[in-house]
Amino acid sequence: MAALVLAPLTGIIADDDSPSTPSPSKKGAAGQTMGVEKALRESGASWNYNWQPQPKAPLPEGVEFVPMIWGKRDLPAIDQVQGNVLLGFNEPDREKQSNISVEEALEIWPKLEATKMRLGSPSPAGGPARVGGWLDRFMTGAKERGYRVDFVCVHWYGENYDPTAAVNNLKKYLTEVYERYQKPVWLTEFAISKHDKGLPATLAEQQAFMEKALPMLDSLPFLERYSWFVFGFNKKGGPQNWYLLDANNELSEIGKTYSTASQAKK
């Protein structure tokens, strides 16, 4: 295993034998539609992804697009991806997402390595540090085969709406991932939500959590980047409480909190 070092002037941890990716801030935006350039600038995001290999809208200067090979559907486009960083498969452990077995993922991984880009692991829906879980088996197989995985991608959705408890739970979750794999971590989706149970957090609860969570995330030395879910608008109706944009592609109330919370005191 390569030693971990701090990439100069960036605060980013990188493997000493893999390319580092400077970033002015950790904050990102998950989601992309036309007409969001102004909101992206105001959000303070330094990077953006859209679960696809190519951008679908122009980005403002200073915002990096990070491509993703979401699943097997994107393999035909892998020769066209551009940039310094490539994200692996999205929630391969879920049937309704990329739905890829560990064995399939390991067979495909050399195609991602061939891009010569810095590679983020597949991001499971949950349990990334669980022994014998999807990601644990993938990382074990990758190590056995000598495959390169430069950082670990994870998602987190907390069901405890108390902001202090939620932040502590998130920090513990991320720390366990880092300690398990000893690689930098990207948190590519997060929020507090029981949406599968029909119990979304209120706007005030999301804001209180975000105001405490972002300074914590900014302070974690092994966490390279994070991105709230989701940089978009709830076109289906219902709760808007975790969507960072409103119907006019302006920052929503929670979006405005996202733009400033990382500047708050811990």
pLDDT beyond 70 at 80? yes
We report the CATH number of the domain holding residue 238 as 3.20.20.80
Q: Would you say residue 189 lies in a domain?
A: yes
Tokens linked to 61: 């200067």
Q: Would you say residue 5 lies in a domain?
A: no
Q: Would you say residue 193 lies in a domain?
A: yes
Q: Would you say residue 73 lies in a domain?
A: yes
pLDDT beyond 90 at 196? no
Q: Would you say residue 8 lies in a domain?
A: no
Output DSSP code: residue 251.
B
Count of domains observed in the chain: 1
Q: Would you say residue 63 lies in a domain?
A: no
Say how far apart CA 240 and CA 237 lie, in whole Å: 8
Give 123-141 pLDDT, tens digit per residue: 999 999 999 999 999 999 9
Domain membership of residue 242 as a residue range: 27-54+68-263
Q: Would you say residue 194 lies in a domain?
A: yes
The verdict on pTM exceeding 0.75 is yes
Q: Would you say residue 12 lies in a domain?
A: no
Tokens linked to 96: 């309704």
